[in-house]
């Protein structure tokens, strides 16, 4: 009877362990090479990055500042740099808060990339308070971007 009880216990334990194994849910398809899969899953950026970070806190001028940043990017920098607009409080995959020391409702982080390696970053803060004059806003952002990236 004891051996029978142990056998049932081991079978139940094996079923529980098997049920807890992670299931693969990746985007690999059989028509792509493994190299193509890894390049798609883990992109290797060849251009420097302009991150626009915002959070869930209410910010009156943030939506307009983000729209102005996207407009400037599309007019001047779309072919030179990558742009990402990210709600950093909802980020689960990357740790932007500690990496770039984010705390404001809106922050722009310029990240210099060369040959796939990161060579420093610079933050621009309080842009939501500078939206009253579009020309001055654009001039300030252009100056900061060009100064940091060396244009």
Question: How does pLDDT run across 111-150, given as a tens digit for each residue?
Answer: 998 877 788 999 999 999 999 999 999 999 999 999 999 8
Please state the pTM of the whole predicted model. Answer: 0.69
Dig out the tokens for 73 from the structure: 């990017």
Pairing of strands 106-114, 117-125: antiparallel
Question: How does pLDDT run across 24-76, given as a tens digit for each residue?
Answer: 345 555 665 655 555 555 455 678 999 999 998 888 999 999 999 999 999 99
Measure the CA–CA gap between 34 and 99, rounded to whole angstroms. Answer: 30
Question: How does pLDDT run across 80-116, given as a tens digit for each residue?
Answer: 999 999 998 887 767 888 889 999 999 999 999 887 7
* CATH code, 44-149: 3.40.30.10
Residue 13, pLDDT > 50, answer yes
Outline where DSSP puts E strands in 12-142.
49-54, 82-87, 106-114, 117-125
């Amino acid at each position: 009877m004891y051996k029978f009880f142990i056998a049932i216990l081991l079978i139940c334990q094996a079923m529980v362990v098997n049920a807890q194994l992670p299931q693969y849910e990746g985007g690999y398809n059989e028509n792509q090479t493994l190299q193509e899969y890894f390049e798609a899953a883990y992109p290797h950026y060849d251009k420097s990055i302009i991150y626009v970070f915002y959070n869930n806190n209410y910010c009156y001028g943030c939506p307009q500042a983000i729209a102005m940043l996207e407009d400037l990017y599309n007019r001047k920098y779309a072919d030179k740099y990558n742009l990402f607009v990210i709600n950093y409080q909802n980020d689960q995959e990357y740790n932007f808060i500690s990496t770039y020391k984010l705390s404001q409702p809106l922050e722009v982080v310029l990240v210099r990339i060369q040959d796939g390696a990161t060579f420093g970053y610079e933050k621009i803060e309080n842009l939501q308070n500078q939206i009253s004059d579009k020309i001055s806003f654009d001039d300030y952002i252009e100056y900061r971007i060009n100064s940091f990236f060396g244009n």
